[in-house]
Homo-oligomer: A and B are copies of this chain.
């Protein structure tokens, strides 16, 4: 590396630049299936101005940078670059403002969703986008995350009102306003949401909040087979029930989660986890409809969470699905698919996945935000056995083709990263030239997380 470059950075950051192997290793990948790639160093800026100076320097020397938050990405977004730096945002950890009367707040990028909700809970509001992992809000914006409550509350694409972004040339810009809606020029906010660190580094996020509902009720319902469970979710959506969560766990996943999360009184059967948000009266109405639909599809009696603690146990088990799968072996990796299809195709798409998996003989836990038409097959494999990955990728390829045939998307919420670049080319071959034009005009030296989303 150029001596001048390192001198400049050391002068700027003092001890907040680390060349230690363990630090570099800790910032070499996310929770994805990739081999770690160690960056030359990890930088720890304290604020926008420092980050701006870092990027100016790196841009001058044409050195690639990758932003790093909580490292919960599943698609290789934060795999390091051995010719460049990883920039940890861990010092961007402050909640800047909470405006509960306007249902909005502003946070620095590395504030996690749990940290935010902890700070909101006495104010009658909460932040509903919940990808499971306790991800950073900047990372969730960068990857266009969503999760278990998207069926009712939307995604990061709808929850982000504005951003502060530091660009490749060091410019610091602020997009959006605190108004609920705006038509003021090109929607840069939604261009940076989902840009995966390739257009700039998100350092502040302005978020829409929701009122904490008067009544929250959670229930679990088992089904004799997967089709019945998925069809139930489909019918709930088609009926127009304003359900807050309707999450599928297949039989394999229930088996794993019951053991991993020590769940009591649960059966190893395809299962839906429901949650209802509203007034007591409106929840009662929704619950009646959902009970009728579930029963018609041979669902079990509902097992209700009796109190907040029991409710938290259920959702913690759901949130820990990824970790429960990963715990199936030592040194295993997890490959997670993420297709999303129109709701009327979800039964056929999940059935297709199940049949294909049975043919391969892979153990295949599945979870799904089925109310959105989005589900994940999370497959454990041994990275030392090349055959296993090849099998999985073959299955994944087939599922991608099926989802695209059904007017769906290759990724409902995980993004592209490294893992889905060839799939993006299948889904949007005619969009990629435009994406590249934007990338080139914002980042002419290609220093911002290069090689992610597209080559």
Contact = CB atoms under 8 A, between A and B. Distances in A.
Contact of A185 (B194, B240, B441): B194
A413 B184 CA distance: 8
Interface string A406-446: 01111111111000100010011011111101101110000
A238 interface: yes
Given A416-B184, A435-B188, A454-B185, A409 B177 contact: yes
Contact of A181 (B146, B180, B191): B146
Given A186-B435, A281-B281, A178 B408 contact: yes
A150 B157 CA distance: 16
A175 B431 contact: yes
A171 interface: yes
Nearest to A178: B407
Given A183-B143, A285-B281, A408-B179, A437 B431 contact: no
A373 interface: yes
A424 B185 contact: yes
A287 interface: no
Identical copies of this chain, number: 2
A183 B427 contact: no
A344 to B, nearest CB: 4
Interface stretch (A28-36, A96-104, A323-331): A96-104
A54 B231 CA distance: 47
Size category of the A interface is: 35 or more
Interface string A346-378: 000000000000000000000000001110000
A154 B172 CA distance: 29
Interface in A54-73: none
Nearest to A434: B188
A211 B240 contact: yes
A341 interface: yes
Contact of A190 (B174, B190, B433): B190
Interface string A147-182: 000100011011000000001000111110111111
Contacts of A412: 179, 181-183
Interface of A: 99, 101-104, 143-146, 150, 154-155, 157-158, 167, 171-175, 177-188, 190-191, 193-195, 199, 211, 238, 240, 278-279, 281-282, 285, 340-344, 372-374, 407-416, 420, 424, 427-428, 430-435, 437-438, 440-442, 453-454
Given A181-B409, A278-B282, 17 more contacts: A101-B238, A150-B180, A154-B158, A157-B187, A177-B409, A177-B427, A178-B342, A179-B409, A181-B372, A182-B340, A182-B411, A183-B412, A183-B415, A184-B409, A185-B432, A186-B194, A437-B438
